[in-house]
Structure 1
Amino acid sequence: MRAMQFVGPGQPLLVPVEVPDPVAKPGWVVIDVEAAGMCHSDVGIVDGPGVGWLSHYPIILGHEVAGVVSSLGEGVTGFEIGDRVAVCLRQGRDEDYAVLGPDTHLGPNGGSAPGLHVDGGYAEKCMVRASRLMHIPDDVSFEVAAVTTDAVVTAFAAVRTTADVRLGDTVAIIGLGGLGLNGARIAHLCGAKVYGVDTNEATFPKALEAGVRECFTDISALKALKPSVIIDFAGMGVTTDAAIKAAPPECRVILVGLGSHQMTLATSPFVTKKVKLLSSLGGTREDLALAFDQIASGNLLPAVQEFAFEDINGALEMLREGKATGRLFTRPRAAASQ
């Protein structure tokens, strides 16, 4: 089968390869990949700082995966050949450690995250531990299901769980790419007054459609709004510091984005304003089920942007440059049929 493989540090591009089709082992399932989303963490891996998130390399990246079950390993129950499924990165609220990290941090399902610990979705087929699968509702497309497993569920958990956004809150969203747009829409659905910040003004129209009241190119503009919550989906190192400087006393600042591997914070505004700085990563199976319900009901529709399977490296560059206007995804199976 065709795949795009990360060879190792110092290699700035994913490499097209032909590899054997996976064969389902006990407790695992092989799926035909109908859609695979691209996450900014893939840029971190390819560019170097995120390579420690992998258990090994070479490896096929792609951890946002949706497709059709094509074979079942021994002992698998609850799924049938032909089922539409998506891959959960976390299994429950008691799994508090990040998916990104050594196997020992992952509990009973450690070492099985596709695209991080086993070959992932940038391929025609992907083998996944059955316990990580969820059925996709009939009204949810493969591409939306794929990006929901990370981009939507991460935003869902950041807004609903970590930030605890409530009716009447004023919420500022920093970074209006695929992840931030989802966060903005979810905050709007929670009854918050939502504002957005992004250096790319091309993201503003979709943000306004998602329920954002006004957009800015400068984080300092948030100061006059006195937001109760600021969620940094960019994580560019300077963005969180700017958020703290713009925040009113006792504001909740949530860091989600991994745009930079380091940040520096100004001590005085952080301490004197008693800002609550929290981080949020991913979401649970419960979060994913709730997100699917909202999508199936029409309340939440993630903004997606398709790219050709052969142009994954071009999509990586779009993410590096902040030019994506929705969550990027590709169709490996469609490429195989051409």
Structure 2
Amino acid sequence: MDTAGKSITCKAAVLWEFNKPLSIETIEVAPPKAGEVRIKVVANSTCHSDLHVMNGMPWDKRMQCPLILGHEGAGIVESVGAGVTDVQPGDHVIPLWNPQCRKCENCKSNRTNVCSGLDDTHYTGLMTDGTSRFTCNGTVLNHFMGCSTFSEYTVICDMAVCKINPEAPLDKVCVIGCGISTGYGAAINSAKVKEGSSCAVFGLGAVGLSAVMGCKAAGAKTIIAIDINPDKAQLAKKIGATKFLNPKDFGDTPIETVILKESGGNGVDYTFECIGNAATVKSAFYSSHKAWGVCEVVGITALTKEVSIIPLALVAGRKWQGSLFGGYRGKDDVPKLVEQYMNKELNIDDFISQNIKLEEVNEAFDLMREGKFARSVVKYD
């Protein structure tokens, strides 16, 4: 492309300070260096992880403003730096906030999907050489989770991008970049939900609804969906929930007590905490079966939050574990999820509440704060 090797001027949503709205700015995006890819972002959906950071609750203290948020995007490769072979200009791609370098100890193991290839810089807001590719009126802007897709153009390490089917609608499959994969995979890959089992999902944002969908795909017989917003009930049941519970309907009775009663006194086989709330993590744990229950922690909690449990509650066989990116390896598995969508085996459309312009992104996050929408998708011109 004629922009290759040159800086590109474009629009981006910049977070200048925590607890402040995003500001739409004109920025400069430098060309990619060796091992990097510059992408024209076509679509990017809003995610609670972005909102956590906006609200001043980053899960890594190295995250600093000013930065460009966004990590649930899809786009087209504009240019590549030296040594990049996985993708080329014109390829349709999804950025990977959980990269896959295929070289680190983790990538070589079958025990985890968590790559450590970008550990030194991923949360510092910089590329691997310790610099940024973004500036705004001379001020350096930080990258976010190696993606920064609330920008019309972004630069990403080649280990953090995967090529996908060029026929896939980018304004749909962008949600696979985090929300869909994280919840769906938590059920399918991490918890390994068994056919005929019972499940409880706490929190019905896109991640929680995806977990419900994953439980159904795995053949769960009972799927209890839990949220304090009664408006979530209809969609949860459409996607696969067999019952909806609103904790507010039970007064001072803890929701785990309600679920124990619903499940005959012992708890359900699998629970999924998809909010990122320490109190809910505890409720999810004690809602799992006393002998063989699996409690899957999926939501991102604030750095300072802790959860206390009685160790004896683990002795009989309960498992308390976490799931990152649904257990998926980005380069290997995200293209397969795209194909599942293309083959009508994976529901994405019901998760997208509205399409918006970049200038409307703050209003979209306000609606997310109110629990009204699962996902708003920014479609760039």
TM range (shorter): 0.7 to 0.9
Q: Which residue of 1 aligns with 2:209?
A: 181
Correspondence list, 1:1-338, <5 A: 1-9=10-18, 11-50=19-58, 52=60, 54-89=62-97, 90-91=99-100, 94-95=106-107, 103-104=119-120, 115-118=143-146, 120-193=148-221, 194-218=223-247, 219-220=255-256, 221-223=258-260, 224-225=262-263, 226-249=267-290, 250-258=292-300, 261=303, 262-267=305-310, 270-271=313-314, 274-282=317-325, 283-285=328-330, 286-302=332-348, 303-305=351-353, 306-324=355-373, 326-331=374-379, 333-334=380-381
- Tell me if the contact between 1:97 and 1:105 (Cα under 8 Å) persists in the aligned partners: no
Deviations 1:110-159 (A, max 9, x none): 95699525561111111122232222224532122211011122123311
- Hey, what's the Cα distance between the residues in 2 that align with 1:271 and 1:63? 35
Match of 2:106, SS state, is coil
Greater CA drift, 89-98 or 249-258:
89-98
**Structure-1 separation of matches of 2:144 and 2:366:** 20
Higher helix fraction (1 or 2):
1
**Which residue pairs with 2:4 in the alignment?**
none
Tell me, in whole angstroms, the C-alpha distance in 2 between the residues paired with 1:205 and 1:139. Answer: 31
Does the 8 A contact of 2:39 with 2:75 survive in 1?
A: yes
Quote the offset at 1:273 in angstroms: 5.9
Change (3 A) 1:275 1:328: farther
**Residue 205 of structure 1: how far off its partner (Å):** 1.4
Q: Deviations over 1:185-217 (max 9, x none)?
A: 121111112221111111111111111112111
Secondary structure, counterpart of 1:277 in structure 2: strand
* Structure 1: gaps (5+ residues): none
SS state of the match for residue 330, structure 1? strand
1:26/1:70 CA distance change after superposition, 3 Å: same
**Distance change >3 Å, CA 53–CA 292, structure 1 → 2:** farther
Q: After alignment, is 224-233 or 96-105 more displaced? A: 96-105
Change (3 A) 1:263 1:82: same
Say whether the 8 Å CA contact 1:62–1:115 is kept in structure 2. no
Range with greater deviation from structure 2 (72-81 or 60-69): 72-81
The separation in 1 between residues aligned to 2:53 and 2:116, in whole angstroms, is 11
Q: Which amino acid aligns with 1:103?
A: D
Q: Which whole-Å CA distance do the structure 2 matches of 1:7 and 1:100 have between them?
A: 28
State whether residues 71 and 149 of structure 2, in contact with CA within 8 Å, keep that contact through their aligned partners in structure 1. Answer: yes
SS of the residue corresponding to residue 20 of structure 1 reads strand
> Which digits, 9 at most, give the CA deviation of each residue in 1:165-195, with x for residues without a partner?
1212211111111111111112111111222
Distance 1:5 1:118 in 2: 15
TM score, norm. by length of structure 1:
0.86
> Which runs of 4 or more aligned residues in structure 1 lie more than 4 Å from their structure 2 counterparts after TM superposition?
53-56, 95-102, 110-115, 271-274
Greater radius of gyration (CA): 2
Structure 1 stretch displaced more, 181-190 or 252-261: 252-261
| Identity level (%) | 23
Q: Under a length normalisation based on structure 2, what TM-score does the superposition of the two structures give?
A: 0.77
Partner of residue 251, structure 2: none
Comparing 254-263 with 176-185, greater Cα deviation is found at 254-263
Mapped to 2, the partners of 1:168 and 1:111 lie a distance apart of 46
Is the 8 Å Cα contact of residues 29 and 128 (structure 1) preserved in structure 2?
yes
Q: Distance in 1 between matches of 2:259 and 2:345?
A: 27
Contact kept? 1:236, 1:257, Cα under 8 Å:
yes
Residue 329 of structure 2 aligns with an amino acid whose one-letter code is T
- Classify 1:53/1:206 alpha carbon distance in 2 versus 1 (closer, same or farther; 3 Å): farther
- 1:34-91 CA-partner distances (Å, limit 9, x unpaired): 1112221112212222063655432211111201122222332243322211112221
The alignment covers a number of residue pairs equal to 328
State the shift of 1:274 in Å.
Answer: 4.7
